[in-house]
Amino acid sequence: MPTLYIDLMSQPSRACYILCKKHGLPVDVQMIRLDKGEHKKPAYLQINPLGKVPFLVDGDLRLPESAAIMAYLCDKYSLPDNWHPGSSSSSSDQAAAHQQQQEQQRRAVYESAVHWQHLNIRAGCMRLVFHTVIGPRVFKVPAVPQVAADGLKVLQQALKDLESYWLGGGSRPFMTGQQVSTPDLLCVCDLEQLRMMVAEPSQPQLEQLLAPHPIVRQWMAAVRAAVGPALYDEAHGKLAAAVARLAAAAAAKPAARL
Amino acid sequence: MPTLYIDLMSQPSRACYILCKKHGLPVDVQMIRLDKGEHKKPAYLQINPLGKVPFLVDGDLRLPESAAIMAYLCDKYSLPDNWHPGSSSSSSDQAAAHQQQQEQQRRAVYESAVHWQHLNIRAGCMRLVFHTVIGPRVFKVPAVPQVAADGLKVLQQALKDLESYWLGGGSRPFMTGQQVSTPDLLCVCDLEQLRMMVAEPSQPQLEQLLAPHPIVRQWMAAVRAAVGPALYDEAHGKLAAAVARLAAAAAAKPAARL
C-alpha cells in the first residue's frame, strides 16, 4: 500500500488527501507536522531528502510534487478520467484515430492547466501568505513585505486569468471543462490558504481579492460541491481551526493596545 | 501544421524550439518580440489572451505552458519515449502488467521532475534575473532587490536539490534517468538565462552559482551534447548576443565614471 506523507496545513497536501479520500484509495496517510519542523528532521529526510510534503512512497517509487502524486494515483487506481485524463492507445482505425486525437487534445488542455497553476495561483498565494502570516508566525522567519507585494501582484493577475481564460468568463464550470480535475483541486486548496490573512487585517483578505471575480467564487463552490462538502470541509478543518485562532488573536490585539 | 509562438530570449520558448528542431517537427515557428511588447498587443492577445510565450495553436487547440506544449508534441508526433514517457495500454497478461507498472513508475518520476522545476529552478532563475537585469533594462520596470534576493535563495536551494536529489549526486546523467527528457531541457534553458547577470557584476554570476555544484555543470554539458551542440548554440544565439552587449556595456561603465 502506498504511503502518503502530508500536513493538512499544506495546500497541495490537502489536494492529495481529498483525491485519496474521495475515491477511498488504499493509501496509508501519515501526518508530518510542518509547524514542529518534522519535515526537516533526519527521520523524515531519510524518507524525502527534499524535506517537503506531500510525498508518496510506493515500494521503490519515491515521489515528490503533488501534481505528479495525483497523476500517479489516478493512473495506478484507474480513477475516473476527468480527474487526470489518461492515455489513449494508438490505432490505425480511422474513427479510433479521430477519437485518439480528441483525447490527445483534452489531455493537452489538462496539462496546460496543471502546469499553469504553479507560477500563477500557487506562487501568488504562497508568497503572499508566507511573507505576511506563515513565515513570521509559524516558522519564525521575518516576512519580507516586498516579496508579499510581488506575490499579491502575481495573484491578482492569476485570478483575472483564472476567471477569463481558464473558466472562459463563466462558459465552463471547471478549469478544463465540464468536470472537476486535479488542477481545480490544487488551485482551490491554494486559495483557501488565503483565509489565514485574517491575522493581518490591514492586508488584502480572501473576500476582497475575490470581490472582482464572482466567477472564481462560484467555481470554488462548484469544486467544493464536486468533491463533496463534508470531505472538503474535513480536509480544511485544521486550516479552519488555525484561521479561527488567528482571527481571535487579531481581534484581541487592539484591546491589548488600550 | 501547428504554429508555435516564441521568443528565443524566453527560457521555456527555447526548450520548445529545441524539441521541435531536434526532431524536425512540422511546426510553423513564429517569433514574437517580447522586448517590443508584441506579446501584449491586440494582434497577439487575440491568439493568446494570456499574453505570454510560448504558445501553440493546432487547429482548435490553443495551448499555453511550455511543459504542456512539449508533452503534446511528443504525444502527437510519437517522439522517442525518453523525452516524455507516454502511456501504457492496460493488459491482463501478468508479464505485461509488470511492464505496465514499471512504465507507470517511470512516468511518475518524469512528472515529478517536470512539476518540480516550476517553483524551484524556474522561479529562482526568473525572479533573480528579472529583478536585477531584465525588468529595468528590457521592460523598464523597477527591480525589487528583495525579490531578487528571495529568488537567489530559492535558486541556491534548487541547485542543491538538483545535484543531490534529481541527479542523485552524479549517479544518473539526467534528471529522470539515463536519457535526456523535457525537464532537463527546461531547467538548462532557465539556467542559461543567468548569463545575463553579466550586466550586474556585483550580483552573483552563473559560474559562481555553479561553482559548488560540479555535477550540475557536468549535466548542463550532457544536455547540450544530447541535444546536439550546434542546435543548442543556435537556440541560445540570440541570448548570447544579448549577453555580449550587456557585458560590453558593463565593461564600459567604470571607464565612463573616470
As a whole number, the mean pLDDT across chain B is 95
**One domain, residues A30 and A157:** no
Read off φ and ψ for residue B174, nearest 5 degrees: -130, 165
| DSSP conformational letter for B113 | H
**One domain, residues B53 and B181:** no
Contact A76 B104 (CB under 8 A): yes
At B237, which CATH number? Answer: 1.20.1050.10
User: What span, in angstroms and rounded, lies between the C-alpha atoms of B68 and B256?
Assistant: 47
User: What span, in angstroms and rounded, lies between the C-alpha atoms of B236 and A255?
Assistant: 60
Q: Output the CA torsion sign for A81, A83, A84, A85.
A: positive
Per the domain annotation, does B239 fall within a domain?
yes
Contact A115 B75 (CB under 8 A): no
Contact A72 B111 (CB under 8 A): yes
- Does residue A112 sit at the B interface (CB-CB below 8 Å)? yes
Whether residue B96 contacts residue B82, with contact meaning beta carbons closer than 8 Å, is answered with no
How distant, in Å, are the alpha carbons of A51, A142, A145, A192, B177 from that of A133?
Answer: 21, 10, 11, 14, 39
User: What span, in angstroms and rounded, lies between the C-alpha atoms of B171 and B247?
Assistant: 36
**Which residues have C-beta within 8 Å of that of residue B240, sequence separation ≥ 6?**
B195, B233
**Which residues have C-beta within 8 Å of that of residue B7, sequence separation ≥ 6?**
B13, B31, B32, B33, B34, B39, B53
Please give the full DSSP string across B7-51, using - where no structure is assigned: -TTSHHHHHHHHHHHHTT---EEEE--GGGTGGGSHHHHHH-TT-
Angle at B70 between CA B226 and CA A79, to 5 degrees: 120
**One domain, residues B115 and B206:** yes
**One domain, residues B60 and B153:** no
**One domain, residues A199 and A75:** no
- The whole-angstrom distance between B59's CA and the closest CA on chain A is 10
**One domain, residues B239 and B121:** yes
**One domain, residues A61 and A112:** no
CB interface of A with B, residues 2-61, below 8 Å? 49-50, 58, 60-61
Per the domain annotation, does B39 fall within a domain?
yes
Angle at B131 between CA A208 and CA A149, to 5 degrees: 15
Q: Which three cell numbers stand for residue B243?
A: 549577453
Contact A75 B147 (CB under 8 A): no
Residue type, A121: I
One digit per residue, the tens of pLDDT, for chain A of length 258 reads 999 999 999 999 999 999 999 999 999 999 999 999 999 999 999 999 999 999 999 999 999 999 999 999 999 999 999 999 976 555 567 888 888 889 999 999 999 999 999 999 999 999 999 999 999 999 999 999 999 999 999 999 999 999 999 999 999 999 999 999 999 999 999 999 999 999 999 999 999 999 999 999 999 999 999 999 999 999 999 999 999 999 999 999 865 554
User: What span, in angstroms and rounded, lies between the C-alpha atoms of A198 and B55?
Assistant: 38
Range of the structural domain that residue B110 is part of: 96-257
Per the domain annotation, does A34 fall within a domain?
yes
At A34, which CATH number? Answer: 3.40.30.10
User: What span, in angstroms and rounded, lies between the C-alpha atoms of A133 and A154?
Assistant: 18
Domain count within chain A = 2
- The whole-angstrom distance between B68's CA and the closest CA on chain A is 5
Q: Which of A36, A56, A81 is at the close of a domain? A: A81
**One domain, residues A146 and A253:** yes
**One domain, residues B73 and B100:** no
Q: Which residues are registered as beta bridge partners of B174?
A: B177
Q: Are strands B3-6 and A61-64 parallel, antiparallel or unpaired?
A: unpaired
Chain B residues with CB under 8 Å of A145 CB are 146
Read off φ and ψ for residue A145, nearest 5 degrees: -55, -35
Q: What is the pLDDT of residue B96?
A: 84
Per the domain annotation, does A90 fall within a domain?
no
Q: What is the pLDDT of residue A156?
A: 98
Q: Which of A81, A115, A149 is at the close of a domain? A: A81
Interface predicted TM-score (ipTM) of this complex, two decimals: 0.95
**One domain, residues A113 and A187:** yes
Per the domain annotation, does B142 fall within a domain?
yes
Read off φ and ψ for residue A93, nearest 5 degrees: -65, 135
Chain B residues with CB under 8 Å of A40 CB are none
Q: Which residues are registered as beta bridge partners of B37?
A: none
Contact A112 B88 (CB under 8 A): no
How distant, in Å, are the alpha carbons of A92, B78, B152, B156 from that of B204?
Answer: 54, 41, 9, 11
Per the domain annotation, does A87 fall within a domain?
no
- The whole-angstrom distance between A72's CA and the closest CA on chain B is 6
User: What span, in angstroms and rounded, lies between the C-alpha atoms of B27 and B20?
Assistant: 7
Please give the helix or strand (H or E) that residue A104 lies within, else none.
Answer: helix A94-116
Whether residue A30 contacts residue A6, with contact meaning beta carbons closer than 8 Å, is answered with yes
The 10s digit of each residue's pLDDT in B106-159 is 999 999 999 999 999 999 999 999 999 999 999 999 999 999 999 999 999 999
Q: Which of A32, A56, A81 is at the close of a domain? A: A81
Per the domain annotation, does A9 fall within a domain?
yes
**Burial class of residue B182 in the structure, from the number of CB atoms within 10 Å of its CB (0-12 exposed, 13-18 middle, 19+ buried):** buried
Per the domain annotation, does A86 fall within a domain?
no
Q: Is the pLDDT of residue B258 over 70?
A: no
Q: What is the pLDDT of residue B254?
A: 67
**One domain, residues B120 and B33:** no
**One domain, residues A112 and A209:** yes
